[in-house]
Amino acid sequence: MYNFTDEEIVSEKLEQARQLMDSMDVDLWLIVDSEGRDPALSLVVGGATSGRTVYAFDRAGNSWALTSWPDMGHVESLGVFGEVIPTNERGAETELRQLYEEIQPDTFMLNWSKTDQLCDGLSHGSYRWLIEVLGEKEVVQKAVSSQPLLTQLRAVKSELELRRIRAACEHNLAIYREVQDEIQQGMTEKQIQQLFRTAIERRTDQGVMPQEGPLVLLPKAGMSHREPTDARLAAGDLLVCDFGLGYRGYHSDIARTFYCCHPHEDSAPQKILDAFGCIREAIQKAFEAMKPGVPGYEVDAAARNHLLDNGYPDIKHSVGHQVGQMVHDGGTALSSRKGKDSRASGGLQENEVYAVEPTILEGELSIITEENVRVTEDGAEKLHQWQNELWYV
């Protein structure tokens, strides 16, 4: 799951992290990792090591990496850390204990979370190791979850991050336009997926990152996150395509719906056109509800209730999710689930990016369009051209 990013992005996020630590009155942030398992590394480190490494950041902007000799050269080459401390001679336990005693934090953060897997990078074994090194009383009394910081750090995008997401959207739509002209009646889901994969692979030298998928779904063959089948596109079929595209460490997530016409048809049947139109209206309802401070569940309700009011079934998933270094990027969700620990209870913030996807999943009448949106100072902004009409094969 680890996405490598570059020093330019990491430098921006480290400064953002420093400001957040200072505002939260936290003295130290410790990340204990090996093999790049912690999702936070792509935000504030930019690389991964093979052995156990402890990354430490204080509120003044100082940073340390405690790592083994074989990993030292790599960590130094990242250009992130003020001091890289070898752990071979005295051991990571001794080096960490000494650093901790020098800083003497009143409060320090660790990467754990009960609700967001992207903030939950500290393994149970590493947690037990920290207790052995620092003492159980010290950890229990002073350690707090880094989730409030990491949620902000991941969610609120810098200008450079936004530029990369916009570029991912541009590549995504260019691939759709290219493949749209190549899809033909009689093709299987597998063959259509291969069209997308070929178009993606042609762009790897431009910074596009190959992805699994995309989803290519004929509703008659079932709607779910599944592999493509040998089901063939025939006249009268709807076709749903959905994929997240990576560009230099950042993603878009865009879905489009096609209709395959019979020879006598100039457009889809009215029932399909009505359903597609209702989806478009639901997305617009969500878009208009998106403002800083608005809870995620209110945005979800704006779209969900529109579909219900028009007689369509309740959506089986969230209306939307954040997009960034991951296609599903953690933080506040546009979901119907409320409650203290619900990610939908969080308020939207300026420069968060969401994929908005209210859907109709009703057997062979299944339609998905998914659009990417940035939260602005007083509303929301479309990051690319939306699908306002059905696409035809």
User: Whole-angstrom Cα distance, residue 209 to residue 293?
Assistant: 33
Is 7-154 assigned to CATH 3.30.1370.10?
Answer: no
Residue 340's pLDDT is 59
Please tell me the predicted confidence (pLDDT) of residue 345.
87
The domain ranges of the chain are: 7-154, 156-392
63 vs 57: CA distance, rounded Å: 4
List beta partners, residue 280. none
Quick one: DSSP state of residue 186? T
pLDDT of 2 reads 45
**Residue among 4, 17, 7, 10 nearest 44 (CA):** 10
Q: Which tokens sit at 57?
A: 């950041």
Q: What residue spans of the chain are helical by DSSP H?
A: 7-23, 41-44, 69-77, 92-103, 124-134, 136-142, 147-155, 159-180, 189-201, 270-289, 296-309
| Tens-place pLDDT, residues 163-184 | 999 999 999 999 999 999 999 9
Report the alpha-carbon distance of residue 140 to residue 33 in Å, rounded: 20
Strands 250-259 and 391-392 turn out to be parallel
Give 224-277 pLDDT, tens digit per residue. 889 999 999 999 999 999 999 999 999 999 999 999 999 999 999 999 999 999
Contacts of 31 (CB under 8 A, 6+ apart): 38, 40, 41, 44, 45, 54, 55, 56, 111, 121, 122
What percentage of the chain carries pLDDT values higher than 70? 98
Q: Which H or E element spans position 215?
A: strand 215-217
The stretch 66-83 carries a mean pLDDT of 93
Q: What is the rounded distance in angstroms from the CA atom of residue 180 to the CA atom of residue 186?
A: 14
The Cα 202–Cα 107 span in angstroms is 49
The Cα 234–Cα 124 span in angstroms is: 51
Name the pLDDT band for 1 (thresholds 50, 70, 90). very low
Q: Give Dmax (Cα) for the chain.
A: 79
pLDDT on residue 210: 76
| Confidence band, pLDDT 50/70/90 cuts, at residue 115 | confident
Q: Crossing angle for the helix pair 159-180 and 189-201, nearest 10 degrees?
A: 130
pLDDT tens column, 281-301: 999 999 999 999 999 999 999
For the stretch 194-238, pLDDT in tens is 999 999 999 999 999 877 789 999 999 999 889 999 999 999 999
Band (pLDDT 50/70/90 cuts) for residue 316 is confident
Torsion of CA 114, 117, 118, 120, to 10 degrees: 50
Question: Quick one: tokens of 79?
Answer: 């250009």
**In the numeric block, which tokens belong to residue 50?**
């093979």
The helix/strand/coil state of 130 is helix
Query: Given this model, what pLDDT does residue 4 score?
Result: 61
369-382 residue pLDDT tens: 999 999 999 999 99
Report the chain's mean pLDDT, rounded to a whole number: 94
The SS3 of residue 243 is: strand
Tell me whether domains 7-154 and 156-392 share a fold: no
Phi, psi for 149 (deg, rounded to 5): -75, -50
Average pLDDT over residues 52-74: 96
Q: Is the pLDDT of residue 55 over 90?
A: yes
Rounded to whole angstroms, how far apart are CA atoms 295 and 254?
23
CB 388 within 8 A of CB 280: yes
Instruction: Just give the CATH number of 156-392.
Output: 3.90.230.10
Residues 71 and 51: their CA atoms lie apart, in Å, by: 7
Cis omega (within 30 of 0) on the bond before 269?
no
Q: Does the pLDDT at position 339 exceed 70?
A: no
Q: DSSP secondary-structure letter at 347?
A: B
* Nearest by Cα to 156 from 377, 386, 339, 342: 377
pLDDT at position 152? 94
What is the model's pLDDT at position 171?
97
Show Cβ contacts of residue 176 under 8 Å, excluding neighbours closer than 6 positions: 241, 254, 256
β-pairing, 53-58 vs 143-145, is unpaired
